[in-house]
Amino acid sequence: MKSWIVLLGVFFFFGIAKSQTKTRVLFILDASNSMNVAWGNETRIHVAKEVLSQEIESLRGIKNVEIALRIYGHQSVVTNSFQDCNDTRLEVPFGKDNLTAIKEKIKTIQAKGATPIARSLEASASDFPDTLAKNYIILITDGLESCDNDPCVIAKKLKEKGVKVTPFVIGLGLDLSYLNQFSCIGSFSEAENKEAFKKVLDNIVQQVILRTTAQINLNDSKGKPKETDVTVLLKESESKKLKYTFMHTLNRWGNPDTVVIDPSLRYDVEVQTIPPVLKKGVTLLPNTHNIISVDVPQGYIRVKSTQPLVNQSIVVRVSKAQENQTLHHQMVNETNKFLVGKYDLEILSLPRLRRTVSVNPLETSEIEIPTPGKLNIASNKPVVAQLFYEAYPSEWTWIYNFPTDITKGEVFLLPGNYKIVYRIKERKSTAYTSVKYIVVQENKSNQITLE
């Protein structure tokens, strides 16, 4: 039984002619029985027909573009004992002004048959009138090959005939290990719902028609484009208006994913690392594949406690070394990624700690701090009180004001020597000032009564 998935593939056929002016796009639609399976609130065949019709309509009026439609699995009903592996047919051939005919044919399609992907791919090679144009195939299918033929073998045969095949495969709702079976043909990615499928199809059609694409290489310390998983903003250089927002992604082969970008503008590229990296004045060559390289070697910072923190959290303020501007706040025992360099850390414990760390490529710079203890205070009457820390022998530093009119409370303190200077608030004489000394131990509780 074939897997229930949604796949979209683009097979890019390069003609032998050096001068290519016309673009031909052959859509192959899967109308096999499994396309009747529910996908959200609709069936897969309904979604495929709707999205494909909308995409075809968007091509109306574009010069030097012709499209055609091949369908498989729509002529013979598949049963437990029979499947028609020759059920593939060119329904609407290439020609001018045939978009309406294609959309009308799509409306009449009913999904019921097998999934002869390889035979459809093999037959499609003869659907193109010549090799003088830029010839493409966009395959929309919800399953893997269900007949005997191997798409990889067919792809190899096409290459041996001088036809280069470069697909983009998008899978939905499947064990991704199955997608590896398409690696012999080309690249692939995943779509999780109808909207994602629509965006992917539109993106690929734009690549086919406009052919201005880019990959953004985020280079590591060795100059390799292996940094990823960070937002990239593209703003128009002159107006600073935001044009594109991408979550940078490495595809299944570990290469930066390809995106479609308008080549008529000049861009400032902002990579949202910590701190951000800006590359100004990037221009793209139209109708080709562009590479935008930005150096963003990164490592990690982690401040950890010697024991687990219980019922508390400690914030760490991060800034570049010898600069006061805050770059980031993170919690103790949290790890975050930073550009390679030196950073000042302000650990907002009581008392505060300050450290400087060097971030090295792909390494985690760790700072360990002792686990705070807890000080509980209580009083029968409201008090005014301040807390001091013995930073050095007999050298006391103020670190905390207790809330006004406090009668009870708690505070977490790093291990060390402390004193509380306080007065019962209703006593209107300095003579009632009292001092209590406390030794706080790691992960221990102290109870103090102020009277």
- What is the per-residue pLDDT across 107-146, written as a single tens digit (0 to 9) for each? 999 999 998 888 888 888 888 887 777 888 888 887 667 7
- What is the per-residue pLDDT across 160-194, written as a single tens digit (0 to 9) for each? 665 554 555 555 544 445 455 656 665 565 667 88
From 137-141, 329-333, 401-405, 446-450, the region with the lowest mean pLDDT: 137-141
Quote the pLDDT of residue 296: 98
| Count of positions (residues) in the chain | 451
Quote the pLDDT of residue 287: 74
- What is the per-residue pLDDT across 60-118, written as a single tens digit (0 to 9) for each? 888 889 999 999 999 989 888 788 899 999 999 999 889 999 999 999 999 999 988 88
Report d(CA 31, CA 369) in Å as an integer: 62
- What is the per-residue pLDDT across 319-373, written as a single tens digit (0 to 9) for each? 999 998 999 999 999 999 999 999 999 999 999 999 999 999 999 999 999 999 9
Structural domains in the chain, sorted by start: 7-210 (3.40.50.410), 213-295 (2.60.40.1120), 298-369 (2.60.40.10), 373-450 (2.60.40.1120)
Quote the pLDDT of residue 79: 82
User: Which range is most confident: 144-158, 208-222, 300-314, 333-347?
Assistant: 333-347
Cα separations (Å) of 305 from 61, 327, 356, 368, 397? Answer: 65, 22, 17, 6, 23
**Bridge pairing between strands 267-271 and 7-13:** unpaired
Average confidence (pLDDT) over 279-287: 91
Cα separations (Å) of 315 from 113, 276, 328? Answer: 60, 21, 10
pLDDT at 35 over 90: no
Mean pLDDT estimate for the chain: 86
Quote the pLDDT of residue 173: 46
Annotate 314-357 with three-state secondary structure: CEEEEEECCCCCEEEEEECCCEEEEECEEEEEEECCCCCEEEEE
Name the residue among 335, 343, 333 with its Cα closest to residue 368.
333
- What is the per-residue pLDDT across 412-436, written as a single tens digit (0 to 9) for each? 999 999 999 999 999 999 999 999 9
From 116-130, 240-254, 368-382, the region with the lowest mean pLDDT: 116-130
